[in-house]
């Protein structure tokens, strides 16, 4: 699985993907704001998917959190 440092200049900032390309496999947890799922992207790449409950977080706050998460590199 590629890490952030391995992604090309053209793809490293493309973080919005079609929902249809995701398959949710197993719910890992849930909380006040939503759920986290283990899933796959395009049927091949393992991903974590965060879903939000309606009205719990502003789009701006979610995007700020996503910017932080993009900096993480999981070995």
- Give me the torsion for CA of 40, 19, 49, 13, rounded to 10°: 90
- Annotated binding residue 10: no
Task: Report how far residue 63's alpha carbon sits from residue 48's, in angstroms, rounded to the nearest whole number.
Answer: 16
CA 38 to chain centre: 10
Annotated binding residues for ATP, written as ranges, equal: 50
Annotated binding residues, written as ranges, equal: 50
């Amino acid at each position: 699985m590629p890490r952030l440092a391995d992604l090309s200049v053209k793809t490293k900032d493309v973080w919005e993907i079609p929902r249809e390309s995701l398959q949710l496999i197993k719910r890992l947890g849930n909380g006040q704001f939503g759920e986290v799922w283990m899933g796959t992207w395009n049927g091949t790449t393992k991903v974590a998917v965060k879903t939000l409950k309606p009205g719990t977080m502003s789009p701006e706050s979610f995007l700020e959190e996503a910017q932080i998460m993009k900096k993480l590199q999981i070995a």
